[in-house]
Amino acid sequence: MILQLNQEHLQTIQTHAEITYPLECCGVILGCGKMAVEAIPTENAFPVESEKKRRYAIAPEIMLKTQREARDKSLNIIGIYHSHPDYPAIPSECDRELAWQEYSYIIISVVKGKASDIQSWTLDENHQFQPEEIKLLTPNS
């Protein structure tokens, strides 16, 4: 499968990652199938402030609210994005343990405050992450 994002989604993720640096940012991708329609920044709700440099959490009530909004637009949550400040765009063991089968997990590396590599990952049947190709579309294409 190939995850399809457009320039606007990429820009939203990059900007969110940079302004949240040196903490991890996170957000939700709404779409249809593997086609992203909207990237929604959310708050990093990880309960321990000092851990937000390497952990993230999306509050369950935010997930539910976003799910309802998606449904109203006939969309689904198709992915979750988060940043890795000064760390490669590779999922951590925590990322893997907490991941859900049906989502794409987009990780963006932020190096010294500047958005860098972006990579999407999906779980295989053994609950291991495999890289997923991102196809970047221009808006309205």
Contact set with Zn ion (CB under 5 A): 92, 95
Q: Which two tokens stand for residue 49?
A: 């402030």
Of 98 and 137, nearer to Zn ion (C-beta) is 98
State the nearest-atom distance from the C-beta of 83 to Zn ion, in Å.
Answer: 8
Of 47 and 139, nearer to Zn ion (C-beta) is 47
State the nearest-atom distance from the C-beta of 93 to Zn ion, in Å.
Answer: 9
3-state SS record for 19-71: HHCCCCCEEEEEEECCEEEEEEEECCCCCCHHHCCCCCCCCHHHHHHHHHHHH
Q: Which two tokens stand for residue 107?
A: 């990780």
State the nearest-atom distance from the C-beta of 35 to Zn ion, in Å.
Answer: 24
The residue whose Cβ lies closest to Zn ion is 95
